[in-house]
Amino acid sequence: MQTIKSTPVKYDARKLSNSEQALLRQMAVERVLAGEPVTAVTRAYGLGDKTLYKWLRTYKNKGPQALAQTAKQGRRRQLTEEQLLQVIDWLIAAPGYNWSRAQLLQKIGAEFSVTCSATTLGRLMASCGLRAPQFSGPYSCYIAGCWIQQDDTLMKSVVRRKKAERVSLIPVVLNEPSGREHWQGWAAFGARGGVMLFPQSNFLSALVSLNNAGSSYVVLADSVLLGTDDWLSQIASLKNITLMLVAQPAQALEVAAPSVEDAVLEVFAEEI
């Protein structure tokens, strides 16, 4: 006679309604109280042992009615869609101004009488398209008229010695909470949480705008298609900008001889 193997039932509680979650808690606890091992019950329902033990403690300390309680309604959203759109408009209306999270939170409190945490603000801004990138890997640094391969450690040293702020410059599309496109341009995300917006333009124009913002910056960006020598000379003229690309330039420049490279590195050391 063929043996039929039973397959454990796995529940994703996130997909269950509040009443279904309450019923699952009650069923699991009742099976343990009836003498079934905890591991057998957790295997049957696809639960973790710690979860079931927590339900058992709740039953013991607060009674079966505590297991039947449904999840409480989440907190009301701290900013309405109209208010969130107004925050976006503040950033757009002041291109090149370095907004810190503290400044935005203070202005939100003054304008809307709303207390909003930095985490909540970041999550809301990300939902509209303002999410700082997480760059990783080797960098190509443009300094002293030449591209030099860098690693992450040396990049951090450049930031410290030049007393510059590290920013990530990326193209962004800001959306209204409804999903409709609201604005296109460039965003410079600071390592300490600040953000600057610049009107839609090409990459070089965005760099020029950032250079004119009044501070010294080490700019991290994805690889961009390099243009002519004139394009490179314009980058070299940006005294407040040190450009670092996450990958090698699309159009590789001529590799310098070792003696020339050593000289460039000496100039690099002097500049920083």
Q: Can you spell out the DSSP letters for 123-165? A: HHHHHTT-------S-EEEEETTEEEEE-HHHHHHHHHHTT-E
Cα distance between residue 2 and residue 55, in whole Å: 37
Cα distance between residue 191 and residue 195, in whole Å: 9
Neighbouring C-alpha atoms within 13 Å toward the C-beta of 127: 15
Residue 272 and residue 165 in contact, taking contact as beta carbons nearer than 8 Å: no
pLDDT recorded at residue 250: 41
Q: Hey, what are 12's tokens? A: 């994703």
CA 246 to chain centroid, in Å, comes to 17
Neighbouring C-alpha atoms within 13 Å toward the C-beta of 272: 21
Backbone φ and ψ for 152, nearest 5 degrees, come out as -65, -35
Residue 32 and residue 56 in contact, taking contact as beta carbons nearer than 8 Å: yes
pLDDT recorded at residue 23: 86
Rounded to 5°, angle at Cα 196 from 193 and 197: 140
Q: Is the dihedral of CA 136, 137, 143, 146 positive or negative?
A: negative
Q: Hey, what are 160's tokens? A: 């410290």
Neighbouring C-alpha atoms within 13 Å toward the C-beta of 8: 12
Task: Using only the alpha carbons of the chain, give its radius of gyration.
Answer: 28
pTM (whole model) above 0.75 = no
Question: What is residue 100's DSSP assignment?
Answer: -
pLDDT recorded at residue 151: 61
pLDDT recorded at residue 21: 83
pLDDT recorded at residue 262: 39
pLDDT in tens, the chain (272 residues): 455 454 555 556 566 777 888 888 888 899 999 999 988 888 888 888 888 899 999 888 888 888 887 655 545 557 888 999 999 999 999 988 999 889 999 999 999 988 888 888 888 888 899 988 877 767 777 765 666 766 666 666 767 777 788 899 999 999 988 889 999 999 999 887 889 999 988 888 999 999 998 888 988 887 665 555 677 778 888 888 888 887 654 444 433 333 333 333 333 344 43
Element (H, E) at 184: strand 181-190
- Other CB atoms within a 10 A radius of the CB of residue 251 amount to 9
User: How far, CA to CA in Å, does 200 sit from each of 171, 172, 209, 243?
Assistant: 8, 9, 11, 19
pLDDT recorded at residue 89: 93
User: How far, CA to CA in Å, does 140 sit from each of 46, 135, 244, 245, 246?
Assistant: 48, 13, 5, 5, 7
DSSP code per residue over 27-60: HHHHHHHTT--HHHHHHHHT--HHHHHHHHHHHH
